[in-house]
Every structure is written in structure tokens, then in C-alpha cells.
Amino acid sequence: MSDLPFAGEPLSPHIGLEITGLDLTALDDATTAAVRQAFNDRHVLVFRDQEMTPDQQVRFAERIGKPDIYPFVKGLDGFPMITPVIKEAHETVNFGGIWHSDTAYQQTPPMATMLLAREIPPVGGDTMFASQAAAYDALSDAMKAMLAPLRGVNSSAKADATRTREDRVTGDDARKVLEAVHPVVRVHPETGRKTLYVNVGHTVRLEGFSEEESAPILQFLFRHQTRAEFQCRVRWRAGTLVLWDNRAAQHYPVNDYHGHRREMHRITLKGQPAQ
């Protein structure tokens, strides 16, 4: 990463880059392009000490992509594209607390997600990420060939997903069941790399197969996708902003901080249909 115009420290061999000394509220076009290059190369970017207003967070998001509105939780007043992700001190279920790619049940899933830490517990509440490009590369040639034509059926009603949104869903969209079918192996539209695109939170079966028939293949993939050697771990501080590529990474928010409040502000960026 020595050719980038900022300092960056890899978080693991396959995924993650922590960037220091960069003010995301004052990016020029050349630095923005370098951020996008690092984003495509490393899937997950960590920026420290970002004292942003909601308006500044939206403006940074607009430099990277087009902000979208999350269908299940009301956004901040005046900033509908910023979703507050909050776990109160008395709660025991965290939001999205399983390995997943964001909203894979949408016909056009988001390109990326950014999360800005507003209030964090004194310890705990880390987020794990796993490279789905590295996970694909590690498969045997025979498995790659078998998976190539398969498509996964993804649903917002899968129990593993809905239980992590309890008491948080709002409005008419809360009652909707969203379903989308995407390739099990997708091609990253910017890098051309192949990535696995099923996840335990949303993928219910393979297209054309029953759930029982799909289960052995999906259960293998769910275990394989999150192996330790494909992962990195992000430890949050107030003012940390993390940007991750939803097309090439899964994430898992660790729920180990009961008794403490945690508030994050999330923006998702519109993507392209998975291919």
C-alpha cells in the first residue's frame, strides 16, 4: 500500500486497512480515488478520529457512492439515509448480530456500508469481517465448478435475521417480506474477483432446490466463509468510521458488552445487481 497518499496498516493478510491522518471531511478528488482503490483492494477501511456531523457523514458517503435508505428502521430526523444502530444498556440482543452481508434480500444489494461510532462501551463491541474473495479462492476447483451455476434465495424473513431486528423495525416496511435471488458466486464489478455471496443471516435455500436439499451445501459454505484465516477484527473508538465492501466481505458485530450503551450511525451505498 506504499503508493497511497496516506498511511495505512493492514489488519490481516486478506482484509482490512487502518488509515491514519486523514480528514474525511476535507478530501480532494485524488485522495478520494486513492480511498476507492484501497477499498477495492482491502474490502474494509478503518478511519480513526473522524469528528463528523451527520451532514458531513452524508457528504463523505456521496463522495464514495449514492446513499440509500434502509427499509426497516427509521433514519435520523433530517437525515433519513443515516440509520441509528443502538443497543441500550438493558438490552441483550444486538442489531444484526450474526455473520451476514447487508440486506442480501434486496434485488439490488448495497455496494458498501459505513458505520460511524458515536458512543461505545468501555470494552467489547468489536466487529469481525471476513473476505469472501479469499474464501472463494480457497475452495477446490471441483467445488468452484459445482457452485458456478447456482443461485441463492435470500429472505428478510429468515429467523436468523429477524431475531436481530426485534423491537427495532418501524413503519409499513416492517411487515414486508423481501426476497431476492443472487448468484452463489458473484463477480466483483470493479475488480473482477469472484466472491462467495450467500450468508447465514439471509440465504434460505438454493434456487431450484428444497431447503433440505440445499442445507448440506449451504452449511458447508457458511462455515467455510468465516474461517479465522479470512478474518480481521476492528476495535472501535468514538469517532471511528469503518467503510466496508458489501460485495466482498461479511461482518459480525460481537455482542459482548451487556450493561453498556452503544450507538453507531450507519449509511448504506447503492450497488448494482449481483452478477
Q: What is the CATH number of the domain that holds 22?
A: 3.60.130.10
pLDDT at 199 over 50: yes
Would you say residue 274 lies in a domain? Answer: no
- The residue-averaged pLDDT of 134-163 equals 90
Do β-strands 17-20 and 44-47 pair in parallel, antiparallel, or remain unpaired?
parallel
Biggest CA–CA distance in the chain, Å, is: 52
* Whether residue 224 lies in the annotated active site: no
Identify whether 177 is part of a domain. Answer: yes
Catalytic, out of 42, 100, 186, 188: 100
- The cell 452463489 sits on which residue? 184
The predicted structure's pLDDT at residue 5: 78
Asked whether residue 212 is assigned to any structural domain, the reply reads yes
pTM of the model: 0.92
Q: How confident is the model at residue 235 (pLDDT cuts 50, 70, 90)?
A: very high
Pick 74 or 90 by higher pLDDT.
Answer: 90
Q: What is the DSSP letter of 79?
A: B
Q: What is the pLDDT of residue 95?
A: 82
Among 42, 182, 265, 266, the one annotated catalytic: 266
Give pLDDT, residue 165.
46
Residue 1 has pLDDT above 70, yes or no: no
In a domain? residue 171: yes
Confidence of residue 45 (pLDDT cuts 50, 70, 90): very high
Considering 42, 251, 262, 265, which one is annotated as catalytic? 251
Which residues span the domain enclosing 174? 7-269
Hey, CA dihedral for 188, 192, 195, 198, is it positive or negative? positive
Nearest Cα residue to 15 out of 127, 115, 132, 188:
132
d(CA 246, CA 43): 8
Question: What are the angstrom distances between the C-alpha of 94 and each of 112, 154, 162, 273?
Answer: 21, 21, 12, 29
Residue 2 lies in a domain: no
User: Bridge-partner residues for 122, per DSSP?
Assistant: none
Residue 51 class from Cβ within 10 Å (0-12 exposed, 13-18 middle, 19+ buried)? exposed
- Decide: helix, strand or coil at residue 3: coil
> Which of the following is catalytic: 102, 182, 186, 205?
102
Tally of domains in the chain: 1
In a domain, 231, yes or no: yes
pLDDT computed for residue 167 by the predictor: 44
- Is 1 contained in some domain? no
Predicted confidence at residue 6, as pLDDT, reads 82
Residue 223: active-site member: no
pLDDT higher than threshold 80 for residue 54? yes
* Dist. CA 119–CA 236, nearest whole Å: 10
In a domain, 193, yes or no: yes
Q: Is 102 a catalytic residue?
A: yes
Alpha helices in 69-197 (DSSP H): 132-137, 141-147, 159-162
251 a catalytic residue? yes
Mean pLDDT of the chain: 92
β strands within 11-126, DSSP E: 17-20, 44-47, 67-68, 83-87, 112-119
In sequence order, what are the residues at sequence separation of 6 or more whose Cβ sits closer than 8 angstroms to the Cβ of residue 210? none
pLDDT of residue 166: 43
The answer on pLDDT for 159 being more than 90 is no
> Mean pLDDT throughout 22-49?
96
- Contact (CB, 8 A) for 39 and 243: yes
User: Which position has the grid cell 473522524?
Assistant: 50
| Contact partners, residue 220, CB within 8 Å, separation at least 6 | none
**pLDDT tens, residue by residue, 166-177:** 444 555 555 688
Nearest to 9 by CA among 1, 18, 23: 18
